[in-house]
Structure 1
Amino acid sequence: MIDKNQIVEKAIEKFLLLGSKQVTLDELATMLGISKKSIYKHFPSKKELVNTSIEALIASFRKDADQILEMERKPLKTIVLLYDTVFDYLQRFSPPFLCELKKYYPEALVIYNDFRHEFVSATVIPLLKKARQDGSIQSEVDLELFCHLHLQGLHHRLLGPNYLFDRYTKKQLIDYMIVNSLRGISTQ
């Protein structure tokens, strides 16, 4: 018997690959070898399944990020490792994924955007402040502005019309988008 978590796992896989609009509940049920009614037992609507899938994806990322944060390292190295994980997740997003959330599942997009902002404000900015305290970042840098300019809109640049993952390696993108940005405010 397929449980709720297995439905969510398969939904995430297919939504990221094809986009949330392109995957029907009938197709999802067929892939799982269950009836559509079995999905409706756990999710009253596709909207609820999409929202739950986004929440599960965020929970998975948080678990991975927590493992990085538990290790003692210099704050700037921690930020690079966190964004390496961010890029791992974003690489799984198909180009239409976020566009379809915006158009068809705005509540799911709000969940995703709230998380992005919370991640930067509650995780990245404190690490940048710690780096400034240890002398690794120039004291006059406005950390909020830095994050707004360099970190907040990464997904738009990566997943936009030019879908950068098709043209560059993840390492190149991290070096140019994260490492070089951090070097620009670094004292070292």
Structure 2
Amino acid sequence: MREEILHKATELFLNLGFKSVTMDDLANEMGISKKTIYSHFENKTKLVEEATMNLFWSISDGIDQIIALKKNPIEELYEIKKFVMIRLKNEKASTLYQLRKYYPRLFETLKKREIEVMHECLIDNIRRGMEFGIYRKNLNVQFVARIYFSGAISLGDQDLFPVSKFTRIELEDYFLEYHLRGIVTPKGRKILNEIINSNQD
């Protein structure tokens, strides 16, 4: 039952937002009592924490599986983006923004975990791209990895990128293309253009 509650809560949080979903909503959705939920989760904050970290590790494992396929680094980033957007259900409720606003300590914990996990993946992606001759040889790998990560985090900031102006999918597409066009070689640009064109078909 604990896993079922966690699964349904995660789904509701992604679709409706952390603030909107109450324990009553969750109980009604599942056809169970609030008492049952509280027997597994001390309070809503604990439920949000577990749902968020559970989703994070699930996404992290999926990214590891994509990296293990050893695709070319440009294609790899597009596959990761696609996978993450599916897992986050295109972030209809701007969950990252809500997490930062209503659960700031949890947001900071999550950000630190993401830096630990994603930094290594980004470093590896950049280095392989340079070895393949599709990323420029003169890149400062540490800088590019950090600037990419900080940019990716900022996409969830609704003050900078309000949902009235951008959908989450548009933002992810624009950002990834912006990042790659700044670091690719002519050989890499050809691969990038082919991927972008195939995605528009």
Alignment correspondent of 1:114: 112
Alignment correspondent of 2:176: 178
**Amino-acid identity (%):** 28
Alignment correspondent of 1:20: 18
- TM-aligned CA distance change 1:16 to 1:159, over 3 Å: farther
* Counterpart Cα distance in 2 of 1:83 and 1:25: 31
Residue pair 2:97, 2:157 contacting (<8 A) in 1 also: no
- TM-aligned CA distance change 1:175 to 1:46, over 3 Å: closer
The answer to whether structure 1 residue 94 and structure 2 residue 93 are counterparts is yes
CA deviation vs aligned residue, 1:125-181 (integer Å, no higher than 9, x gap): 1111122223322122112222333343324325524445974583x5454321342
Residue pair 2:96, 2:156 contacting (<8 A) in 1 also: no
Residue pair 1:132, 1:138 contacting (<8 A) in 2 also: yes
Q: Which amino acid aligns with 1:91?
A: N
Alignment correspondent of 1:63: 61
Deviation at 1:105, TM superposition (A): 2.0
Structure 2 residues not aligned, in runs of 5+: 188-201
The TM-score, its normalising length taken from structure 2, stands at 0.78
The answer to whether structure 1 residue 44 and structure 2 residue 42 are counterparts is yes
SS of the equivalent of 2:136 reads coil
- TM-aligned CA distance change 1:153 to 1:105, over 3 Å: same
* Counterpart Cα distance in 1 of 2:178 and 2:113: 24
Residue pair 2:14, 2:89 contacting (<8 A) in 1 also: no
Structure 1 residues not aligned, in runs of 5+: none
CA deviation vs aligned residue, 1:14-69 (integer Å, no higher than 9, x gap): 11222212211122111111111111111111111000000111122123213312
Alignment correspondent of 2:78: 80
* Counterpart Cα distance in 2 of 1:101 and 1:157: 14
Q: CA RMSD in A?
A: 2.5
Alignment correspondent of 1:125: 123
The TM-score, its normalising length taken from structure 1, stands at 0.82
The answer to whether structure 1 residue 138 and structure 2 residue 136 are counterparts is yes
